[in-house]
Structures are given as structure tokens and as C-alpha cells.
Amino acid sequence: MATQIYLNLPVKDLKRSVDFFTALGFSFNPDYTDENATCMIVNDNAFVMLLVEGFFKTFTHKDVADASGSTEAILAYSVDSKEAVDETIRKALAAGGTPSQEVQDYGFMYNHSFQDPDGHLWEVMWMDPAGPPAEDASAASTETPGN
């Protein structure tokens, strides 16, 4: 079982990416930072390695997707409240990100998304720790496949 996760993302301009994610409140590990890469700290067990595109290409023989025109993944992370979702989106747009999807409010789950300066899709979400309302959960458990 993995104890930590490292997501590697290609970026065109490392400084621009660091400035963007710093504006969203992320910090970086200087021990894993140079002119080719930096380690963005999500939490104690999750990290995003932002790698200059040319350096990123040294890790694969495949073509690197251009996130400004295609989607390779949607990266999602949670925050503590609906207000924190809205504040993060506000910060992302102010720092040079672009809107992606409209806000989705399911009551117990609230999410919104943006594109970073390289076009990577990020979803910011809040979920009620209690989960969906009991009536939704009980209705789902009485349904049978094919009905």
C-alpha cells in the first residue's frame, strides 16, 4: 500500500506555475526544487511535482499531452467548506487561471473547477463528512440492478 503519492505534471514556465500555486496557498519543498522542477506540497502524504516540459519528457517515450487543448486528467482536492471552495476559485482566477466548469452543488457535496496556466484541470471540492442525506442512501440500497 502506498504511503505517499507524487503526481508529476509538465509545465511550460516553472516560475509562472510556482507563482500561480503560491497564490492559491500551496508551498514548495526547496530540497526538490531547481530550474527543472519543484515539489508542491498538498499535505503530508500528497505532492505535485511540477516539471518543466523538456525535463518531464525525459521520463517517458510517449508524447506529452498539451493540456491547453486536451485533457489528460482532472486533479481534485478537498477543502474544509463551501466558502473555501469559492475562495480558492476566486484566487485561481485572480492569479491567472481560467474557469472550467460551473459550480456544482449537491447539498452534501460542492465543487467548482479551474484550469491552471498550462491548461491542467483542477477541481476543488467540499464534502459533508456525514455523507449524503439518509433518504438518498436508503433509496440507493433498495434499488436492484436493471431497475
Q: What is the pLDDT along the chain (147 residues), one digit of tens a residue?
A: 668 899 999 999 999 999 999 999 999 999 999 999 999 999 999 999 999 999 999 999 999 998 888 988 899 999 999 999 999 999 999 999 999 999 999 999 999 999 999 999 999 999 998 888 876 544 444 444 454
Look up cell 491567472; give the residue.
96
Residue 119 vs residues 38, 122, 136, 147: alpha-carbon distances, Å:
18, 9, 35, 40
Q: For residue 85, what are the domain limits?
A: 68-141
Residues 72 and 88 occupy one common structural domain: yes
Residue 104 inside a domain? The answer is: yes
Residue 103 placed within a domain: yes
> In this structure, are 81 and 124 located in the same domain?
yes
- Say yes or no: 102 and 127 in one domain: yes
Last residue of a domain, one of 20, 41, 60: 60
pTM of structure: 0.81
Helix 14-23 / helix 82-94 crossing angle, nearest 10 deg: 140
Q: What is the count of structural domains for the chain? A: 2
CATH number at residue 50: 3.10.180.10
